């Protein structure tokens, strides 16, 4: 299967990661490749030994451009991404303008909700749930309960897939 994972513009998948989502994307992408899938990740860059391929449609320089214009440029660039070779698109980010652009792709799409429900995301995801066929997936029971209530749906739960073998089992004390 050809899978496109979407993180976002300017996102680095090099250590040290900016957040747990970047760590999740790298771990998840590498595991999918190990299972035999071809995985492409929308990001700025990644470690040279990554098993997946970076796709960066955000080629226009947008630093210093005011927010509305920057988002407009990013949206246009993302919309122009050729997604014909991908079987599924899996979003792992919160860029409402890119989610809106991606809703026009005629592809099976998933959005994994990593974050608790907050007002900004609730507004964006309500619009998206009404205007697209994107499937929402929760990453934990707590996140699922919050988002089910906020969006009025019963979304699937796929527990956080971080490979625990990558983390030290030793607990360091004081």
What pLDDT is recorded for position 162? 61
Domain ranges in the chain are 2-166
Contacts of 171 (CB under 8 A, 6+ apart): none
Residues 135-171 pLDDT 10s = 999 988 999 999 999 999 999 998 766 666 665 555 5
Q: Look at residues 154, 152, 150, 92 and name the one whose alpha carbon lies nearest to residue 119.
A: 150
Fold of 2-166: Rossmann fold (3.40.50)
| Whole-number Å distance between alpha carbons of 152 and 149 | 5
The structure's pTM equals: 0.87
Query: Collapsing DSSP states into helix, strand and coil, what is residue 142?
Result: helix
Q: Are 147 and 113 in contact (CB under 8 A)?
A: yes
**pLDDT tens across 96-128, in order?**
899 999 988 989 999 999 889 999 999 999 998
Segment 70-73 long-range contacts (CB within 8 Å, at least 24 positions apart) = 71/97, 72/97
């Amino acid at each position: 299967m050809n899978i496109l994972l979407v993180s976002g513009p300017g996102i680095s998948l090099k250590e040290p990661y900016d957040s747990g989502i970047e760590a999740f994307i790298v771990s998840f992408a590498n595991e999918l490749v190990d299972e035999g899938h071809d995985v492409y990740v929308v990001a700025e860059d990644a470690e040279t030994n990554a098993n997946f391929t970076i796709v960066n449609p955000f080629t226009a320089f947008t630093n210093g451009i005011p927010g509305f214009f920057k988002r407009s440029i990013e949206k246009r660039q993302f919309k122009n991404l050729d997604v014909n070779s991908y079987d599924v698109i899996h979003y792992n980010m919160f860029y409402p303008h890119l989610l809106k652009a991606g809703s026009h792709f005629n592809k099976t799409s998933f959005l994994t909700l990593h974050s608790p429900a907050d007002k900004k995301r609730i507004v964006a995801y309500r619009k998206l749930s009404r205007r697209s066929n994107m499937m929402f997936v929760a990453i934990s029971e707590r996140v699922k309960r919050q988002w089910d209530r906020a969006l009025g749906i019963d979304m699937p739960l796929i527990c956080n897939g971080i490979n625990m073998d990558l983390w030290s089992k030793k607990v360091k004390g004081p």
